[in-house]
Structure 1
Amino acid sequence: MTQVLIVEPDAAARAQLRSILESNGFSVAEPAGAALDARSLESMDVSGYPCVVASAEGCRDRGIDVFALCPGIPVILIAHRPDVRAAVSAMKRGAADYLPLPAEPDELAAAIERCIAERRRLGGDLADRQDFPMVGDSAPMQALYERIRKIGPTDSTVLIRGESGTGKELVARALHACSRRANAPMISLNCAPTPPRIIETELFGYSPADARPDTARRGLLEAADGGTLFLDEIGELGLEAQARLLRVLQAGELRRFGSTETLPVDVRLITATHRDLDKLITNGQFREDLYYRLNVVAIEVPPLRERGEDVLKLAEAILERARSKLGKQSLHFSEPARQAMLDYRWPGNVRELENAIERAVILCDGDGIPPDLLAIDAGPARPPEPPPPGAEQTSLEDYFVSFVLAHQDSLTETELAEKLGISRKSLWERRQRLNIPRKRTRQRGPRRDAQ
């Protein structure tokens, strides 16, 4: 996992930057010590970081010359009070980028990825696999890394398949970082929670002919011109938006809503889904011609249960973030907890693992985390029996239905969602879509007879 150094004295701003970076698959390092000053940065070996994200005002006020203290390391300056003169001065001194705070997550992630690509181009001291914002050395992950290295430098569209919570967006970011477009932005959009009409405006923009010019709005396809657009949960995209997206892929051009003007776009499209697109095509919910355009190259992201001891490497990385976030530096996993994590099948994958560890860190009173605080079934996991020859594999939706029906009597809605690695809102939406009504709770007491 790529680690980025943050130099920001303001605790709230530092927490915001940490949240943005971690949500985009980067890990975060900070200078040691309660007081951030030049000495604390001098004591660090910064040569292994692909870039430094530093506060423009914080470094100036504390006398920290981040350019002198981090020679050869790209510096992204974050300005609480952006100023044109300060930006010009920073760029003259060698800043890789100058961004306002609060930072746009995609903009900051793209700036970091440009730094990574530039260091790789110049022969910086970064191992190839460190460019991938993922953790794990198991055979399935090694195969995944190799496939990313082969596919990344091309301009082919890529369809990433995998269960929910496996890290499909991290794979997309690794593909972008390996491509010739690495210095351009990568923009992400999750198609699942966005209403159909809004998602079309988000993608294609809006420019009504009878409105003022200042009301026109660029879509994400235009914003990602020259770079990469990642569409997560592509199976949720409506048929009308699918037709417009197919046009973009076929002709390399688009029209904003309400406009007759055709605009050229040069975008690499990466999509992801956990759904069975073949079944959606059969049911008339997904266009077959679009599917062939998207599925030029396919990548399968392995579920956590197939990655062996990677679960412990991931757990340690997640625990390190949680320790720093909550100030519990002495916490560690007990041996029974480590064994429980190895035995559990993790139906919610990495997302469920993150939820379990964060909950355990919050609730743990001692130094060693016991297995019961992880709130997982610590019993040995029995591998599933192989299906008979020719039998269809159980779909993720079938698994969801069977899991909910099997556990809804013993678990609350919050616990069900946590076990599945999804939010309560997503659980409710899937119940509605798959027609799995919640069981009515029994009355708290006998009804009183009228007096």
Structure 2
Amino acid sequence: MPRILIVEDEDIIRSAIRKLLQHAGYEVSDAGSVEEAEQNYEPDQYDLIISDLRLPGAAGTELINRAPNTPVLIMTSYASLRSAVDSMKMGAVEYIAKPFDHDEMLAAVSNILARKPTAPDSSEEPGASSSTPENSDPANIMFGHCEPMQRVFTLIRKVAPTETTVLIQGESGTGKELAARALHLLSPRASKPLISVNCAAIPESLIESELFGHEKGAFTGAVSARTGLIEAADGGSLFLDEIGELPAEAQARLLRVLQESEIRRVGSTQSRKVSVRMIAATHRNLKAMTRTGEFREDLYYRLNVMQIRIPPLRERQSDIMGLARRFLKRQGEKMGKPNLNLSPEAMRALERHRWPGNVRELENAIERATILCDNDVITPSLLDLDSEGGEEHIPETLVAGNNEQTRTNDVDSANDLSLEDYFQHFVLENQDRMSETELAQKLGISRKSLWERRQRLGIPRKKSSGN
């Protein structure tokens, strides 16, 4: 049984990861700091260390030096992505951004342990492989028994071993990042980093510097040279989520990377070669955006060599209950309610709902119901789906003009505020005086979920925001 050491100073996160890994069959120990880990355990005797980047006392990256024989997986917030990339240069095997999906964490752990070299004195038969590719199969990373998802898995298995650029299309919450991870883990580049970048989460003024790097003095505040995320992914894969949000100048520079396999840092006159497998994703209609001039047509055709479409949950009717039970089991164990069940009425409500937020909305509904449930049976009222279940869903790819239509339908269909109405009113009323982090905390969602709902409802983020 593989032994894993978790080093995380936040009790809730540490406990959640410990329970998740223990349920998956791992032997788990945990500590709140590097110093505590060294005092109570021998970190170098574990098969894997999962550590937060920022800890009281020594940083999580210190474990790379103090446990040289053990792979270290670094956890970090998106705001600290640069430091996570730097940590990989120091020797971390991979990083994972918070908040992370449970399946994403399990897939990362499985992949790291699968490629961990076997000790020379191992009793395994000669020639036995230390890698288990089946752990990286998309069916083990994503859930889906329906025919559309099986087609997705088949396509991923065929495309992953190649160097082909892939464009993943799908609505928010369908699991595009998990598909990108599966493509990377099944590729010859699996031992190298997968760098994930949400193009919409980086301020437009910084996007080029973040992606391509910059030289010292290239602009005000550039006090030292910095490696870009594309260069950091050299030898591995680069996942550009929400590629449709890239500004025009960055699109032109990215096209050169795809055409020439080289980058030039901001402020530099020298180009350097990079070997990066490009995976892009979007919920927008890029083809339509090329007609309006929002997206470069030449870049679109460079990206759209192989397209993988992740179906929305409403097209995966036979998967809804399987996903619901999976989330219910996970949340029940996490919250000390292992005997939870869905009532027949709750099952019917889940199957009738249109799921505009897709798999992520389903997971949130189950988590909310698990928290509110006082006995062992979850009823429809705890799922709180009625306010949205009857609405006609308008695909997110039809970005242009869908906001007015959505608002009109809301006004005509109900006098009471739906959950989406409440979200829209709350954000518009409070975004001038609250940061993105404060808004997300008040709404009980992550910053990434806040951004995705903004996109879906067409609520622009204030340009003056400093977050």
Normalising to structure 1: TM-score of the pair? 0.73
CA distance in 2 between counterparts of 1:172 and 1:88 reads: 30
In the other structure, the counterpart of 2:95 is 108
CA distance in 2 between counterparts of 1:433 and 1:383 reads: 23
CA distance in 2 between counterparts of 1:423 and 1:90 reads: 36
The answer as to whether partners of 1:202 and 1:219 remain within 8 angstroms in 2 is: yes
Q: String of CA shifts for 1:123-160, please: whole Å, max 9, x gaps.
A: 54955637742112111111111111110111111000
Which letter maps to 1:304? L
CA distance in 2 between counterparts of 1:190 and 1:84 reads: 24
Mapping of residues 384-395 of structure 1, within 5 Å: 395=398
- Aligned with 2:49 (options 68, 76, 81): 76
Which letter maps to 2:458? R
Q: String of CA shifts for 1:189-208, please: whole Å, max 9, x gaps.
A: 11123332211111111114
Residue 210 to residue 397, structure 1, CA distance change in 2 (3 Å): closer
In the other structure, the counterpart of 1:411 is 417
2:21 matched to 1:29?
Answer: yes
5+ long unaligned stretches in structure 1: 22-26, 32-43, 69-73, 385-391, 435-451
- 1:362 shift after superposition: 2.0
In the other structure, the counterpart of 2:167 is 159
CA distance in 1 between counterparts of 2:218 and 2:451 reads: 39
CA distance in 2 between counterparts of 1:361 and 1:113 reads: 30
Q: Secondary structure at the match of 2:214?
A: coil
CA distance in 2 between counterparts of 1:195 and 1:176 reads: 27
Q: Secondary structure at the match of 2:351?
A: helix
- 1:89 shift after superposition: 6.5
Aligned residues: CA RMSD: 4.2
The answer as to whether partners of 2:196 and 2:240 remain within 8 angstroms in 1 is: yes
In the other structure, the counterpart of 1:332 is 341
Q: String of CA shifts for 1:290-341, please: whole Å, max 9, x gaps.
A: 1111011100101111112311222222223322443333322222112211
CA distance in 2 between counterparts of 1:135 and 1:176 reads: 17
Percent sequence identity over aligned pairs: 40
CA distance in 2 between counterparts of 1:57 and 1:180 reads: 37
Q: How many residues get paired?
A: 394
2:146 matched to 1:172?
Answer: no
Q: Secondary structure at the match of 2:272?
A: strand
2:289 matched to 1:280?
Answer: yes
Which letter maps to 1:334? S
Q: Secondary structure at the match of 1:160?
A: strand
- Aligned with 1:195 (options 188, 203, 217): 203
Q: String of CA shifts for 1:16-49, please: whole Å, max 9, x gaps.
A: 5857x9xxxxx93227xxxxxxxxxxxx955xx9
CA distance in 1 between counterparts of 2:60 and 2:288 reads: 53
In the other structure, the counterpart of 2:322 is 313
CA distance in 2 between counterparts of 1:102 and 1:194 reads: 16
Residue 338 to residue 225, structure 1, CA distance change in 2 (3 Å): same
The answer as to whether partners of 1:312 and 1:338 remain within 8 angstroms in 2 is: yes
2:212 matched to 1:204?
Answer: yes
- 1:269 shift after superposition: 0.8
- Aligned with 2:265 (options 256, 262, 268): 256
The answer as to whether partners of 1:59 and 1:66 remain within 8 angstroms in 2 is: no
CA distance in 2 between counterparts of 1:271 and 1:402 reads: 29
- 1:405 shift after superposition: 2.7
2:217 matched to 1:238?
Answer: no
The answer as to whether partners of 1:161 and 1:301 remain within 8 angstroms in 2 is: yes
- Aligned with 1:302 (options 303, 308, 311): 311
CA distance in 2 between counterparts of 1:300 and 1:251 reads: 27
In the other structure, the counterpart of 1:431 is 458
CA distance in 2 between counterparts of 1:172 and 1:275 reads: 17
CA distance in 1 between counterparts of 2:259 and 2:76 reads: 37
Q: Secondary structure at the match of 1:196?
A: coil
Residue 303 to residue 398, structure 1, CA distance change in 2 (3 Å): farther
Q: Which of structures 1 and 2 has the bigger CA Rg? A: 1
